[in-house]
Chains A and B, each alone.
Chain A
Amino acid sequence: MTEFYLITGFLGAGKTTLIHSLLPLMRGRRVNVIVNEFGAVAPDEALLTGLGAEVMAVTGGSIFCACRIAEFEDALHDALEQKPDVLLVETSGLSDPRSVRDVTKEFERDGRLKYRGAICLIDAPRFAALLETARTIKRQLAVADLVLLNKCDMVSQEFLERTETLLTSVCTARVIRTTYGRIPPEAFGALEPRGELPDGTDIMPDLTLQRETVLIDPLMTKAQLNDFLKLLSEDTYRMKGILRLKTGVHLVDCVGTNLRVIAYDGAAEEENALTLLAGAGMPLRQSLRAAIRRYDGLVRRRIG
């Protein structure tokens, strides 16, 4: 029977890094990974290939949204056909995973899958600020069986104490402090689902999640791209894409104002698409319009 693990956490919390640190713990076992991207492309799929696991992607929305759930069920079915020992599912950072057991139930019932639990990554430096605006975080914590408070090395001890106090006030799962998405092997081994979700969880849809896709002209220089990203960094949670530029292929992986554009040893997507994600109160639409005006001809917004 395949062991099923759900990896959740908000955008940029370190979910892909966690999978990197998990794979060595499962050496000798056959591992499949399903990566879910809110955007149209899946850079994380590319980042995880070549690590010995079978990786597939579900893009263009959360796997738990009505518009993608059938696709997720198909992916789950295909993955289980291969009878792996372990199946890791990395959700999109904007996913509300509270219906995960509704999806896995059928596969659990016929004995193909054993649900081992959900690990939620929390970005220590940004948690307090995000909790105010991003409703998804509370929903991800609601299903978590283990919480990894990540990037603890990036904040002071006092800040960390405050963050952990805040975290434990909104979540009842076990919390472990960590860096670089590392998980103690014994904590991973002891992971068990905690049972049903508590009653009264907020069931309202979150209308404020924003996703924009822009298409980048390969004639753009890296300096222009950096400036373009800078114009938008305050008004996004995340910007992601693998882009072909004048100077070669680059991986764009930005979390808030932390911009990361690095050379990438692989092919870019045909469309040269960059996905931008934002949430409540972020004027992404307006800043994107201004940024596109500045780079008229080199960037265009994809409609639909």
Chain B
Amino acid sequence: MSGKDVLFSILRHEEAPRAAWVPFAGVHAGALIGADAEQVLKNEDTLVSALMEVNRLYTPDGQPVVFDLQLEAEALGCELLWAKYAPPSIKTHPLADTMSVPCYCTLPNERSGRIPMVLSAMRRMKEAVGETTALYGLICGPFTLASHLRGNDLFMDMYDDEDFVAELLAYCTACVNRMTGYYIAAGMDVIAVVDPLVSQISTAHFERFLHEPYSEIFTHIRASGAFSSFFVCGDATRNIEAMCKTAPDSISVDENVELAAAKAITDRYDIAVGGNIPLTSVMLHGTQQDNMKYVVELQDELSSVKNLIVAPGCDMPYAVPVENTIGAAQAVLNRDESRAIVANYTPETFDLPVDLPDYAHLTKPLVEVFTLDSATCAACTYMLGAATEAKEHYGDAIDMVEYKFTEKENIARCMKMGVKNLPSIYINGKLCFASLIPSREELNEAIEKAKAEIG
């Protein structure tokens, strides 16, 4: 049974000999051949070489071709800010000042932006490894794409003009359906619709705005002959059941979601679940044994490997040590041996000395934004965006700081503060917004309250 067959069994909800293994190596693929993020996301030959190395080193059952949630937005006119060791981020939002639903003839086509390069790389990968490895085509989900086009105001629009949000989401859904067609034609076996911002809205908003688009998307993918994945990052716990009701073949979650609890829900709907190796504390900063131990325990906690895909919680950080991913792979492919190897291993802790601010004696409100990394996690980008807007509004009257979980001392800070969800906003040391991006009014109100408390 090839790795691809194992993954297909899982996605068909059949009994399988083991869990499936899908390392989400996006820009990290470049690290394997010494190429930076920009090279791997812009140059077809570099991308294909990097993906072949992922395939060789990590023996995946399934692997993505490109992990770049900005691809469609770029083709629609968003300017990008490129980074050397992370996917690009959105610099400009074309609809930031214009509440407009674009004409559908503006949707990207096979010649737009970097799409031709991606399609060609997909065809080459299909030819090279498609017999034994399932290939994932990753598409930016409609809600995140709408945020890319409109910016942070989308979160206000959800209260002020529901019809506009619904119409804009319909446009973005049409974009997803079009990209699905291109990717399946280029040989993709699984279409993963990646929508990190789904974790940042309430279940009521999910049901109001996203149930219908997602049901349409997954019906379309199924009718087109591919498997589907509903891919979220952040604490999507509250929305897992609502996501199941849109009927994808699988759901992918990150470390913010307790996998066993999520699987209890997805099992009720007979949907596969994928996740959720912590990207930074385990994959980036841990050791090979940490990764092995984490993945062994992750599987052992669950009653069955049926409907289980082991994967990093999201796009792997660029600099994840190769041996860590290999350790994780081993723990899926040779679970019993790996369990024996790490039986007596004690993981390293992040017990670094960190000084917390003297919250009781602040002279002005302190807004602290805890993120996975605002440069790579879309939910974090928009959470930081909300705080940045507040900082621009209040100027020197408040202080604002971002702590990225990619740095060891920030992991220690999160532990000391008791931060449970990323992204979160704390004001004056108190948790105000966890995995729910506040509207401008909500954040300003919280800051005003903090100001009043300082006196």
Report A's interface with B, CB cutoff 8 A: 61-62, 65-68, 204-211, 278-286, 289
In the complex, the answer to whether A280 meets B105 with C-beta atoms within 8 Å is no
Contact sample, A vs B, 21 pairs, CB 8 Å cutoff: A62-B105, A65-B103, A66-B105, A66-B109, A67-B105, A204-B76, A205-B76, A205-B77, A205-B102, A207-B95, A207-B98, A207-B100, A207-B106, A208-B94, A208-B100, A208-B102, A278-B100, A280-B97, A282-B98, A285-B161, A285-B164
Q: Which B residues lie within 8 Å of A282 (CB)?
A: 98
Chain B residues closer than 8 Å to A280, beta-carbon distance: 97-98
- Tell me which residues across on chain A come within 8 A of B427, comparing CB atoms: none
In B104-138, which residues have CB < 8 Å from any A CB? 104-106, 109
When C-beta atoms are compared, the residue in chain B nearest to A285 turns out to be B99
B76 close to A210 (CB less than 8 A): no
Asked whether any CB of chain A lies closer than 8 Å to the CB of B277, the reply is no
Query: Is B100's CB under 8 angstroms from A209's CB?
Result: yes
Contacts of B94 in A (CB 8 A): 207-208
Taking a contact as CB atoms closer than 8 A, the residue among B77, B109, B149, B161 that contacts A206 in the complex is B77
Residues in B lying within 8 Å of A, measured CB to CB: 76-77, 94-95, 97-100, 102-106, 109, 149, 161, 164
Q: Which residue of A lies closest to B108 (CB)?
A: A205
Instruction: Specify which of B99, B100, B109 lies most central, judged by the most chain A CB atoms within 10 Å of its CB.
Output: B100
| New contact pairs (4) apart from A208-B95, A208-B102, A209-B100, CB-CB < 8 Å | A68-B105, A205-B77, A207-B106, A286-B161
Beta-carbon contact of A61 and B100 below 8 Å: no
Contact assessment for A204 and B103 in the assembled complex, using a CB-CB cutoff below 8 Å: no
Determine if A67 and B77 form an interchain contact, defined as CB atoms under 8 angstroms apart.
no
Count of A-B residue pairs with CB < 8 Å: 57
The 6 A-B residue pairs with the shortest CB-CB distance in the complex, in nearest-first order: A205-B106, A65-B105, A207-B102, A66-B105, A67-B105, A204-B77
Which of B94, B98, B105 neighbours the largest number of chain A CB atoms within 10 Å of its CB? Answer: B98
CA A208 – CA B149 in complex, angstroms?
Answer: 10
Question: In the bound complex, do residue A61 and residue B95 qualify as a contact, i.e. CB atoms below 8 Å apart?
Answer: no
Q: Chain B nearest CB: distance from A204 CB in Å? A: 4
Q: How far is the CA of A289 from the CA of B163 in the complex (A)?
A: 12
Question: Do B102 and A283 touch (CB < 8 A)?
Answer: no
Give chain B residues whose Cβ lies under 8 Å from the Cβ of A209.
100, 102-103
Q: Cβ of B149 and Cβ of A207 under 8 Å apart?
A: yes
Taking CB as reference atom, which chain A residue is nearest B100? A210
Q: Roughly how many angstroms separate A283 CA and B106 CA in the complex, as a whole number?
A: 21
Chain B residues near A205 (CB, 8 Å)? 76-77, 102, 106
Contact of B105 with A281 in the complex, beta carbons under 8 Å: no
Q: Tell me the minimal C-beta distance from B98 to chain A in angstroms.
A: 4
Q: Judging by beta carbons under 8 Å apart, are B105 and A61 in contact?
A: yes
Q: How far is the CB of B94 from chain A (nearest CB, A)?
A: 5
Task: Say whether A207 contacts B105, CB under 8 Å.
Answer: no
Contacts of A289 in B (CB 8 A): 161
Please name all residues of chain A whose beta carbon is closer than 8 Å to the beta carbon of B109 when the two chains form the complex: 66
Residue of A67, A279, A285 touching B103 (CB-CB under 8 A): A67
Closest to B77 in A: A204
User: In the bound complex, do residue A206 and residue B99 qualify as a contact, i.e. CB atoms below 8 Å apart?
Assistant: no
**A204 CA / B103 CA spacing, docked (Å):** 13
Write the chain A residue with the least CB distance to B164.
A285
User: A208: which B residues are within 8 A, CB to CB?
Assistant: 94-95, 98, 100, 102
Shortest CB distance B431–A (Å):
34
Q: Which of A204, A279, A281 has the most CB of B within 10 A?
A: A204
